[in-house]
Homo-oligomer: A and B are copies of this chain.
C-alpha cells in the first residue's frame, strides 16, 4: 500500500508543478485544494525540501516551489524520499541493501529472484516518469 504521506506528497508536487505564477505556493492553498490535512502536509513538504526537491520561502508571501523544472524531477527520487526504498525487500534494494536474516544464500532464494523482477519493472516506470508527466491534465 502507498502511504498517505506519499499520496499527499505526490499530489502536492503535482499541484506545485502546475503553478504558473512566479510566487511560491502556500501549504494552506494546496491543503484545501487537494483535501489534505494541512499540518500533516506541512511535515511532508518539509521533508521534500530537506531532500532538495522543493525550495521554500518563509514569512508572509512565503511558500514552496520546485528546485528544478518538473521535467527534471524523476519519480525515482520522489518515491525514495516519500515512500523509502523502491524494492519490496531490502536484499534487492539498490540504495538500501541489507542481507536477510533467514536466507543463507540469496542467489538460491526464490523470493529474491522474483523481487528483483518486480523492482526492475517498477524502476522502469519511475525512471521514465517525471513530475511534468504527472502534471499533465487528464489520463
Binary contact readout A44-62 vs B (1 if CB under 8 angstroms, 0 otherwise)? 0000000000000000000
Contact A116 B139 (CB under 8 A): yes
Size of interface on A: residues with Cβ below 8 Å to B = 38
Contact A113 B134 (CB under 8 A): yes
Binary contact readout A108-139 vs B (1 if CB under 8 angstroms, 0 otherwise)? 11111111111001101110010000110111
Task: Kindly report which residue of chain B lies nearest to residue A13, judged by CB atoms.
Answer: B110
Give complex CA distance A14, B103 in Å. 14
Interface hits, A1-22 → B, CB 8 Å: 1-2, 7, 10-11, 14
A39 interfacial contact with B, CB 8 Å: no
**Taking A10-B114, A11-B110, A139-B107 as contacts, is the C-beta distance between A102 and B34 under 8 angstroms?**
yes
A94 interfacial contact with B, CB 8 Å: no
A89 interfacial contact with B, CB 8 Å: yes
A36 interfacial contact with B, CB 8 Å: yes
Contact B134 A110 (CB under 8 A): yes
Between A110, A115, A116, A138, the greatest number of chain B beta carbons within 10 A of the residue's beta carbon is seen for A110
